[in-house]
Amino acid sequence: MAVDNSKNEVEILTFKNLEDGVINPEECCACGACVAYCSSQNFDVIKMDGYTPRFKTNKSEENCKECGICYYICPQTKPLLRHITEAYQIKDELGPVLDIMGAKTTNETIKEIGQDGGMVTTILTYLFDKKLIDAAIVSEYDDDLKPVPKIVYNKEELLKSSGTRYSISSNILPLKDLYTIAEEILKKHKEVFDINQLRLAFVGTPCQCRAIRKMHQLKLSAAQAIKYVFGLFCMENFDYDKLFNLVKSETNEIPTDITKMNIKKNFYITNKEKKVYEVELKKFDDAVRNHCHSCDEFTARFSDVSFGGSGAVKQNSMVIVRTEQGQNLIESAIADGYIEKFVPKTMTISEWKGKKLSLLSRMTKSKTNK
């Protein structure tokens, strides 16, 4: 794998190339990996301008160290894709499947507020209870229903982030402050003398998981702390402003009056009075972020476990277990009574699994063929 040392004059692709090849053509997925890396190195060169990574000032381009790492860890670029595809044994559109199941939480509070089976919140709660993580990176709504990345340090805070968000949140961005996170954990929880001792869980979309795995591939300090990667099924993501303009014109509701959104066959929007609007999904097509059109992932292949609503019976989530670590976690969460596995009544488990896998495979293909 090592490069030929004698020819070290290979041109390194840098943030400039990222701008030209990914950001300006609107292929950026706003995960924040590039900025998180660069800032965690204290290079002070790029920042998130809303959902777009940009050079901080006109002078920043000169100050760029040209290490090229931002370009390589971007989930939308090719160079490291081959490495992580091999490392995580991705062979088809569904990725590795050690197990697939329907499951739901046994926790009444989470049932109330969570999406589908409330699985992500429950698994994170489980990890906190068993002292297996010190913090989790999730997203939660601000007052305007705008998703923002959030680091939570205990299970109580988690409840605020339960439920799905349909516009993007730059979930990798918080890693830029890894040392602040470490200090926070140090203050509250335990003795940390090595960054490798921090244990964070990460929850994100397929593209965000891809970025984390690329960062893992390079053993970057910024991602060293992430020990669990949880992926979310993702058909497409919406631009916040465009989405809520369309929501307003369809339902006359403004973000502050909406309490929950869910995509099934159609888009379901619930307001404060618990009134549910059903709007055809294709009415929101114009709000879909551009990079989602060329995305070939649906079930978050680069994760330990991925979760989604598609294919599960009501009040349940679909769960795809992808790594041994994920397997151990889900099995012990079931054994300890945190989650309940769905048992199909009209067919055998293996028939059920086959049916669900072909459904998810069809859904992924329908996405890529769009």
Partner 1 sequence: MDLADIGIKVHLVEKLPSIGGKMAQLDKTFPTLDCSICILAPKLSECFRHKNITLYTLSEVQKVEGESGNFSVEILRHARYVKEDLCTNCGDCATICPVRGVNNYFDAKLMTQAAVQIPFPSAVPPVYAIDKDSCVYLNYGICGLCEKACGPKAIDFSQNDAVLKIDDIGCIIVATGYSLIEDIKPLEKYGYGKYKNVITALEFERLLSASGPQEGHLKRLSDGVAPQKIALLQCIDSRTDRGQKYCSSICCMYTTKEAMVAYEHNNELESYVFYIDMRAGGKGFQSFLQRGEKEYNIKYIKSKIGQIEIDEDENPIITYDDMETSEIHQLKVDIVVLATCIIPPEGLTKLAEILEIELDKYNFIKTTPFIPVETSREGIFTCGCVHDPMDIPRAVAEASGAAARAAEVIKGG
Q: Which is nearer to partner 1, 146 or 189 (CB)?
A: 189
Whole-angstrom Cα Rg for the chain: 20
DSSP 167: B
Pick the closer one to partner 1 by CB: 2 or 335.
2
Residue 16 host element (H or E)? helix 15-18
Q: Interface residues with partner 1 (CB under 8 A)?
A: 1-3, 5-6, 8, 10, 12-13, 37, 41, 65, 67-69, 71-72, 79-80, 190-191, 193-196, 218-222, 224
Return the number of the residue (69 or 168) whose C-beta is nearest partner 1: 69
Nearest approach, Cβ of residue 133 and partner 1 (Å)? 15
Cβ–Cβ < 8 Å for 182, 209: no
Residue 19 CB, shortest distance to partner 1, in Å, is 17
Are residues 53 and 291 in contact, defined by beta-carbon separation less than 8 angstroms? no
Q: Which is nearer to partner 1, 10 or 335 (CB)?
A: 10
Give me the least distance between CB of 313 and partner 1, in Å please: 37
Considering the complex, what minimum distance in angstroms separates the CB of residue 1 from partner 1?
6
289 to each of 16, 42, 292, how far by Cα in Å?
22, 30, 6
Q: How far is CA 43 from CA 11, 15, 40, 276, 354, in A?
A: 20, 13, 8, 48, 49
Closer Cβ to partner 1, 222 or 318, answer by number: 222
* 252 exposure class (CB count in 10 Å sphere: 0-12, 13-18, 19+): exposed
How far, in Å, CA of 349 to CA of 344, rounded?
A: 7
Q: How many other C-beta atoms are found inside a 10 Å radius of the C-beta of residue 354? A: 13
Q: In the Cβ-directed half-sphere of 98, how many Cα atoms lie within 13 Å?
A: 17
Q: How far is the CB of 239 from partner 1 (least distance, A)?
A: 31
Structure tokens at 196: 């490798």
Shortest distance, position 360 Cβ to partner 1, whole Å: 32
Taking the CA atoms of 107, 112, 114 and 115 in sequence, report the sign of the dihedral they define: positive
- Min dist. Cβ of residue 168 to partner 1 (A): 25
Q: Which is nearer to partner 1, 182 or 246 (CB)?
A: 182
